[in-house]
Amino acid sequence: MSNEYNYYTPESGPDYNYEQNQEQKRKEKKKMPKFIKVISLALVFGIVASVAFQATNLVADRFLGTTENREVKSVDNTKISQSTGETAKSDIASIAEEVMPSVVSITNLSVQQVQSFFGGIQEQESKSVGSGIIISQNDSELLIITNNHVVEGNETLTVSFVDEESVEAQVKGTDAAKDLAVIAVQTKKIKDTTMDQLGRAKSVKVAKENTVIVDGMGESVIAIGNALGYGQSVTSGIVSATGRELDGIDEKLIQTDAAINPGNSGGALLNANGEVIGINTAKVATDTVEGMGYAIPISSVSDIIENLMNQETKTKVSEAEQGQLGIQGVDVTTDSSEMYNMPTGVYVSEVIAGGGAKKAGITKGSVITGINGTSIDGMQALKEQLQYYRAGETVKITVATPEKNGEYAKSDVEVTLGKKS
């Protein structure tokens, strides 16, 4: 199994049965050329054959407070830190020591169906690793921000802290288009000694009024993450550029020459003051290109992160109990979206008679873009979200319906999920 995501392979659009303006030109963007391969930074070790409550306080001045009550204090009113004449810390070692307890390793065990040597289909277990940043705590959970591609397809997720203590985690919320996810660890499962170390860590601010804006090109940065699955590592460099765009990520990114490697996905990109400015996400992977890594800027996605934090922690139901929408669909990729002037998501190529989608009024030609507030960028993301809902449950599906003028109108439709056939 490969751990590479080639964001630049163009995919043909679906065979649409309604009129569209196919002569529309693509928007010109400052993207990397399509022949350049970009890899996600989640490291896949290899394949072994086998088988509601709201998030409360965002971040405290002291990350986890004391171990006696295990509570986080309210967010302070610190303003956004912008470039000033203040003397920045230059000691990378001291910055790393302060922040590293807030950066965790994430292990994703997933099961995939692959074709065997003899032509049959068999299940294989895959283990991949990435990184995450502890951003908050509510009454019973520690909340961690990471990349969506780090946690997608998981059967089980395990978080390892700076002291190598490991605890199982659950997905709280995901945004596939932004490549973001928030996962949760129950604090009662974390040892007091681990909580002590976390309590001494430098706080990570994600509330919009507290996030740090990147100063610009040339700003010194430090990257921390679980590179190559060896545990936490630290590299440094500068901001090479801002506002970069990559296919597959609906966000303008920070470009840096700090060494970023597989396993760093979801890790922290810090400024010289030890403040988190980005979430490490991808790198260019060619023999002729060096020092081109990318991070999602915290300041531009703080609202999304807060929304993900406030979602109900998800627990998968058994496959036999899982519900289905009753549609067949095709991915609408970024390329297809631009070519056909339609939103990214799942193009509904067929609506199954008697299914929940049919009863709710979803029609062929519509595009599903979300489920219960979670954005959907393709069939894989939709299938993963449906793993959390039983047949008979009602979910809110966000649907974009084509209009006569070629535009799409979005609306929310309640669908009662049917049983798997």
From 126, 128, 220, 265, the catalytic residue:
265
Is 149 a known active-site residue? yes
DSSP 247-268: TTEEEEEEEE-S---TT-TT-E
From 102, 110, 136, 149, the catalytic residue:
149
| Integer-rounded Cα radius of gyration of the chain | 22
Beta bridge partners of 105: 131, 160
Q: How many CA atoms lie within 13 A of 229 on its CB side?
A: 12
Three-state DSSP state, 233: strand
Q: What span, in angstroms and rounded, lies between the C-alpha atoms of 184 and 165?
A: 15
Give every CB contact of residue 247 below 8 A, 6+ residues apart in sequence. 7, 8, 31, 34, 333, 334, 335
Is 331 a known active-site residue? no
Is 102 a known active-site residue? no
Q: What span, in angstroms and rounded, lies between the C-alpha atoms of 25 and 340?
A: 9
Residue 348 structure tokens: 């509904």
What is the distance of C-alpha 236 from the center of its chain? 23
Quick one: DSSP state of residue 188? G
From 102, 105, 128, 179, the catalytic residue:
179
Residues classed as catalytic: 149, 179, 265
